[in-house]
Amino acid sequence: MTDVVPVREHLEALWRAGWSTRALADRVGLDRSTLYRQAIGERGAMQRRVADALLAIPAGGRNRTKERSAARIEDAEFLVSVGESALRICERLGVRGDTFGRLLRLHGRADLARWFEGLS
């Protein structure tokens, strides 16, 4: 086991750089809840293998998750502009409405988020 404090700080930098918890969990071979529990939980230590794998990810590195999110938002903007329904847009993009609504809010698009919130 290793000290979790430097790993938590690095995780925060990765999240600020646009990494999703899912992408990080996939990268280190854990499910999201296990990664989150180990990194943010009450315990002050985590498995050395997980800590080393997380610390090896460059915080300033290119993250395709952020790029995919931006592309989906652009697609949604276009589909809304041509009159497509929110439900149909979610089906086309392969996303849940409530999840996509939160993503839009995170990207400063509260106007678009209202279309999708409440859909599941």
Q: Do residue 16 and residue 50 come from a single domain?
A: yes
The enclosing domain of 6 has a CATH number of: 1.10.260
Of 16, 42, 21, residue with least CA distance to 33 = 21
Query: How many domains does one find in the chain?
Result: 2
One pLDDT digit (tens) per residue for the chain, 120 residues: 777 788 888 888 887 777 777 788 888 888 877 777 777 666 667 788 888 888 998 887 656 666 677 778 888 888 888 888 888 888 888 888 888 888 888 778 888 888 787 765
Q: Do residue 28 and residue 71 come from a single domain?
A: no
Domain region containing 110? 64-116
pTM over 0.85: no
| DSSP string computed for 38-76 | HHHSS-SEE-HHHHHHHHTS-TTS--HHHHHHHHHHHHH
Q: Do residue 51 and residue 76 come from a single domain?
A: no
Tell me which of 14, 32, 55 is where a domain ends: 55
What radius of gyration do the chain's Cα atoms show? 17
Q: Do residue 7 and residue 51 come from a single domain?
A: yes
User: Which tokens is 99 given?
Assistant: 């999840």
